[in-house]
Amino acid sequence: FKFTKYSDKIFTEAIYGGEQIDKQIAALQRPTHIVVATPGRLIDLLQRKAIDLGGVQTIVLDEADEMLSMGFKKELDEILGFLTAVECKWLFSATMPDGIQDIVKRHLSKDAVRVQVNRKNVVNAKIAHQYLICEETDKLFVLLQFLKSEQKNRGVVFCRTKAMAQKLAKQLIAKNIATDAIHGDLLQKERDKVLRAFKNTTLQVLVATDVAARGLDIEGLSYVVHYQLPESEEYYTHRSGRTARAGKEGISLCLVNAKEIKTLRNYERTLSIGFKQIRAEK
């Protein structure tokens, strides 16, 4: 969406839930070359006959596995059903679960070309992967010590659940650390407000869940902390990729218990990376 401003005469509209649909309908009355949409809101507009997909020449499904994990399989099938005549179809996905393979078989060409990135080339070599062993009861203290050492820098702390993200953000705020959280329950305008505060350096720390942080692109982040390990190595890649951008170096720190070391070893094998153990300050 941002890149279109560098092109001539390309008009783009973003349509998504949480915003007034009447304004979006009005915006679509203008000449529009590209529509960036969430599945639910696009279906809503189709049902209202507020958008015509008859002239679509290209469709792109970005982060398709995430849309499926959020329960949008039915909506995607319905949308693609309107676009059977479209010859140029692109699907991007970090994983290929059965639901994605079903979409490929049903809606893409039988001759569709699959391009897969070598896992060894996925993780940024400028990221220092570290881990610190601690008990659950000590995690907050350990995190506070780390944030103190990075107080001149900004970063993202990842949690697996929205409840944990909200709880941790409140705990950090109570310790006078400028913090806010993003998670799946936020309306788009609420999410945008938090991200604006983080981008303009009003916030030092952003606490986030995996789904909410997908596509997060903020320059100058010195670290990410995995307060809770992600569900898969793909999520670890997405998380750690928030730091060490534009040629800079960054830290990806995992707070783990002794049993979770096995998971880190799996990351090392799968992603061809190495973890260095660090110890908490006493």
| pLDDT > 70: percent of the chain | 94
pTM for this predicted structure:
0.74
Residue 31 has pLDDT above 80, yes or no: yes
| pLDDT > 90: percent of the chain | 68
In angstroms, the CA 221 to CA 223 distance is 6
**pLDDT of amino acid 132:** 98
Q: Spell 12-38 as b/e; 16+ CB within 10 A means b.
A: ebebeeeeeeeebeeebeeeeeebebb
Residue 60 has pLDDT above 80, yes or no: yes
Residue 123 has pLDDT above 80, yes or no: no
Question: Which amino acid is present at 115?
Answer: V
Q: Are residues 83 and 125 in the same domain?
A: no
pLDDT band at 184 (very low <50, low <70, confident <90, very high): confident
**pLDDT of amino acid 66:** 83
Domain of residue 26 covers 2-107
What is the sign of the dihedral through the CA atoms of 91, 94, 96 and 99?
negative
Q: What average pLDDT does range 22-50 have in this prediction?
A: 95
CATH of the domain at 125: 3.40.50.300
Mean pLDDT of the chain, nearest integer: 90
Q: What average pLDDT does range 204-231 have in this prediction?
A: 89
CB atoms within 10 A of CB 155: 23
Q: Are residues 65 and 171 in the same domain?
A: no
Residue 101 falls inside a structural domain: yes
Residue 72 has pLDDT above 80, yes or no: yes
Residue 279 has pLDDT above 60, yes or no: yes
Residue 267 falls inside a structural domain: yes
Q: Are 90 and 59 in contact (CB under 8 A)?
A: yes
pLDDT band at 120 (very low <50, low <70, confident <90, very high): low
**pLDDT of amino acid 239:** 92
pLDDT band at 7 (very low <50, low <70, confident <90, very high): low
Q: Are 138 and 190 in contact (CB under 8 A)?
A: no
Unique residue bearing structure tokens 């060490």 = 244
In angstroms, the CA 137 to CA 149 distance is 20
Nearest to 249 by CA among 118, 178, 155, 132: 155
**pLDDT of amino acid 192:** 87
Q: Are residues 232 and 255 in the same domain?
A: yes
For residue 215, what is the DSSP state?
A: T
At residue 218, what are phi and psi to the nearest 5 degrees? -130, 125
Domain count within the chain:
2
In angstroms, the CA 1 to CA 59 distance is 15
Q: What average pLDDT does range 27-51 have in this prediction?
A: 95
What is the sign of the dihedral through the CA atoms of 154, 158, 159 and 162?
positive
In angstroms, the CA 98 to CA 73 distance is 11
The pair of structure tokens assigned to 241 is 């990729």
Q: Are residues 166 and 140 in the same domain?
A: yes
Q: Are 129 and 240 in contact (CB under 8 A)?
A: yes
pLDDT band at 161 (very low <50, low <70, confident <90, very high): very high
Q: Are 37 and 25 in contact (CB under 8 A)?
A: no
Residue 139 has pLDDT above 80, yes or no: yes
Q: Are residues 176 and 124 in the same domain?
A: yes
